[in-house]
């Protein structure tokens, strides 16, 4: 910066000249200051723009990543490969994809906040939109924590400020599991003069006499294993972490003895399911079992028999019973369905075919309603990588039938049959005529040819739903019920013995039926174990069914 001219060296200058020189110098300094300010502002603006451009580039990259993840999620959930995945595998894949999507969305939100913070004009700064509030489950206990200011003294000196309102926010908390020992004390009383005997209350009944666990603890262990798929060895580790070191073998002993005590309830439920309606769903899934003699596992099976008449508004409550059998042979189906007459909804497994023959053992010939979802999956699995117009057309025709089904779900059986006769039958007739034409020009040895003939050879079973409003188009309900035992199998790997497989089946039956009736499994099992301990099993076993428990719970509320 230049120094001002020293006018003291020119004492003879007129005052007006001195004033002019001073004014000129001030104007020059002001201009220089404004230029420096403008230069600094321009540099700051350039830095902000560069920062925003970097943020925007990062944001664009994250958006591309998010779009790719969403496409992967859609392909995993709705694409052809999802039909080939085990439901448990699909859930695990979707879980990880949903986690990745949530992480990317959080990073995008953080970058958007940085962009807003770097905006030059404060008026244009956009606040981040709050996440949509989710309703917490009703019935949870609420603990209020009031956060007061450090001081409510008014700055004006008039005294304390007056409360005019409040803000409330809710967060979900968890109290870790706490184990406790219940000490039962039974005082003894006697006559002080020795004229009478001793009085003492009877000891409370326990499900497992002479053992530590309460009925509540047994219910927790059973639900953790058979509903939340936590094997006993992992539960033992968790209990040790909470200060209760109980060996896995002890837990297994408790579950084995408990499983034997609930067997009559499951057996009675089996009878009620087979006698309470004219249509059942039947399916089977593998249950690996350890074969000690060979040191390997053998393949056992859990056969599921499910009743659910809600699709046509039937009065019978839903229920499912799992039967463990060491094999998949058709005689197992004979035994399990002994005494049932009516229709079974199944896949096209050959082990059910003989049940429809006149010489069927255990009752009249059964009607076999085949599952359209299985036929659809066969077509999807046969579709070449390059695509197939035949498969696409077949799926579109099947989708039209499912749209009709969605509209009549829950309607009276007679109305369902009428609508199917009017709307679905013409579509089914055209579908199989078209399918036959496509099969004639497709090699039987190809995957597509096999898929087409799979449905053509079984079209009587695929058509059965048209003539009976009680029947559904598919057996998806029983497949959904089988998912829970399948997840248990995935986590526990195998049952240690055939009796272990039967134990699995009993607990899976009770818990699966609880879920169908919107009953909390832990509460049901806890109360069931208490009822069995007090002898209710011999008084009224039908009152111990999960659907009876559901009705009693609703009545008491």
Is 76 a member of any domain?
yes
Is 401 a member of any domain?
yes
The answer on pLDDT for 314 being more than 80 is yes
Evaluate whether 294 touches 279 at the Cβ level (below 8 Å): no
Distance of CA 527 to CAs 217, 256, 257, 453, 520, Å?
Answer: 12, 18, 17, 51, 11
Whole-angstrom Cα distance, residue 238 to residue 244?
A: 9
Domain boundary among 433, 453, 474: 474
Domain assignment of residue 71, given as a range: 7-121
- Which of 411, 379, 384, 383 has the alpha carbon at shortest distance from 398? 379
Is 384 a member of any domain?
yes
The token duo for 188 is 């003894």
Domain boundary among 443, 474, 505: 474
The answer on pLDDT for 548 being more than 90 is yes
pLDDT for 496: 45
Whole-angstrom Cα distance, residue 35 to residue 500?
A: 88
- Number of domains, the chain: 2
Is 194 a member of any domain?
no
Measured in degrees and rounded to the nearest 5, phi and psi for residue 315 equal -80, -20
Distance of CA 197 to CAs 29, 189, 193, 194, 203, Å?
Answer: 116, 9, 11, 8, 18
pLDDT in tens, 327-379: 888 888 888 999 899 999 998 888 888 888 888 887 889 999 999 999 999 99
Is 383 a member of any domain?
yes
Is 93 a member of any domain?
yes
Residues 6+ apart with CB under 8 A from 174: none
Concatenating the DSSP letter of every residue in 96-159 gives: HHHHHHHHHHHHHHHHHHHHHHT-SSGGGPPPPPPPPPPPPPTT----------S--B-TTSSS
Evaluate whether 265 touches 544 at the Cβ level (below 8 Å): yes
The token duo for 307 is 């009743």
Residue 416, classed as helix, strand or coil, is: helix
pLDDT in tens, 443-494: 888 888 999 999 999 999 999 999 999 999 999 999 888 877 666 555 444 4
Domain boundary among 90, 121, 152: 121
Whole-angstrom Cα distance, residue 181 to residue 517?
A: 33
Is 507 a member of any domain?
no
Residue 297, classed as helix, strand or coil, is: strand
Strand partners, 200: 188
**Highest mean pLDDT of the ranges 120-124, 131-135, 406-410:** 406-410
Average pLDDT, the chain: 84
Is 274 a member of any domain?
no
Q: What b-and-e string marks burial along 153-179, b requiring 16 or more CB atoms within 10 Å of the CB?
A: eeeeeeeeeeeeeeeeeeeeeeeeeee
pLDDT in tens, 264-283: 999 999 999 998 778 999 99
């Amino acid at each position: 910066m230049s120094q001002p001219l020293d006018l003291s060296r020119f004492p003879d200058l007129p005052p007006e000249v001195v004033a002019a020189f001073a004014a000129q110098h001030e104007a020059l300094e002001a201009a220089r200051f404004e230029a420096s300010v403008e230069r600094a502002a321009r540099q700051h603006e350039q830095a902000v723009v560069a920062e925003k451009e970097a943020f925007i580039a990062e944001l664009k990259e994250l958006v591309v990543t998010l779009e790719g993840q969403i496409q992967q999620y859609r392909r995993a959930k709705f694409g052809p490969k999802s039909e080939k995945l085990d439901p448990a595998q699909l859930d695990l894949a979707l879980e990880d994809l949903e986690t990745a999507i949530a992480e990317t969305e959080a990073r995008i939100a953080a970058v958007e906040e940085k962009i807003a913070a770097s905006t030059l004009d404060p008026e244009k700064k956009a606040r981040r939109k709050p996440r949509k509030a989710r309703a917490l489950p009703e019935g949870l206990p609420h603990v209020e924590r009031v956060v007061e200011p450090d001081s409510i003294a008014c700055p004006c000196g008039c005294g304390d400020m007056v409360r005019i309102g409040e803000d409330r926010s809710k967060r979900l908390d968890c109290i870790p599991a706490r184990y406790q020992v219940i000490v039962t004390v039974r005082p003894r009383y006697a006559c002080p003069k020795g004229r009478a005997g001793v009085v003492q209350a009877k000891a409370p009944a326990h499900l497992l006499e002479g053992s530590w666990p309460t009925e509540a603890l047994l219910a927790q262990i059973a639900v953790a294993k058979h509903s939340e798929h936590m094997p006993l060895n992992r539960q033992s580790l968790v209990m040790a972490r909470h200060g209760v070191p109980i060996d896995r073998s002890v837990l297994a002993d408790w579950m084995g003895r408990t499983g034997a005590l609930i067997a009559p309830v499951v057996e009675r439920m089996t009878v009620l399911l087979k006698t309470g309606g004219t249509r059942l769903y039947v399916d089977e899934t593998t249950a690996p079992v350890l074969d000690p003699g060979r040191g390997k596992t053998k393949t056992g099976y859990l056969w599921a028999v499910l009743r659910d008449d809600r699709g046509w508004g039937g009065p019978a409550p839903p229920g499912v019973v799992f039967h463990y059998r060491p094999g998949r042979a058709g005689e197992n189906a004979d035994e399990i369905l002994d005494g049932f007459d009516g229709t079974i909804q199944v896949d096209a497994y050959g082990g059910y075919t003989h049940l429809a023959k006149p010489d069927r053992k255990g009752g009249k010939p059964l009607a076999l309603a085949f599952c359209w979802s299985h036929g659809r999956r066969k077509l999807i699995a046969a579709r070449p990588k390059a695509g197939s117009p035949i498969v696409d057309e077949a799926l579109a025709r099947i989708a039209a039938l499912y749209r009709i089904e969605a509209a009549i779900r829950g309607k009276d059986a007679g109305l369902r049959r009428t609508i199917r006769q009017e709307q679905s039958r013409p579509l089914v007739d055209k579908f199989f005529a078209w399918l036959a034409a496509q099969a004639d020009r497709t090699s039987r040895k190809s995957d597509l040819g096999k898929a087409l003939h799979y449905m053509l050879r079984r079209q009587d079973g695929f058509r059965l739903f048209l003539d009976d409003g009680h029947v559904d188009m598919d057996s998806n309900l029983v497949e959904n019920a089988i998912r829970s035992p399948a997840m248990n199998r995935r986590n526990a790997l195998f049952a240690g013995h055939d009796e272990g497989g039967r134990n699995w089946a009993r607990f899976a039956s009770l818990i699966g039926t609880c879920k169908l009736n919107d009953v909390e499994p832990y509460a049901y099992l806890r109360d069931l174990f208490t009822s069995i301990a007090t002898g209710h099993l011999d008084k009224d076993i039908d009152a111990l069914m999960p659907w009876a428990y559901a009705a009693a719970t609703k009545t008491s509320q």
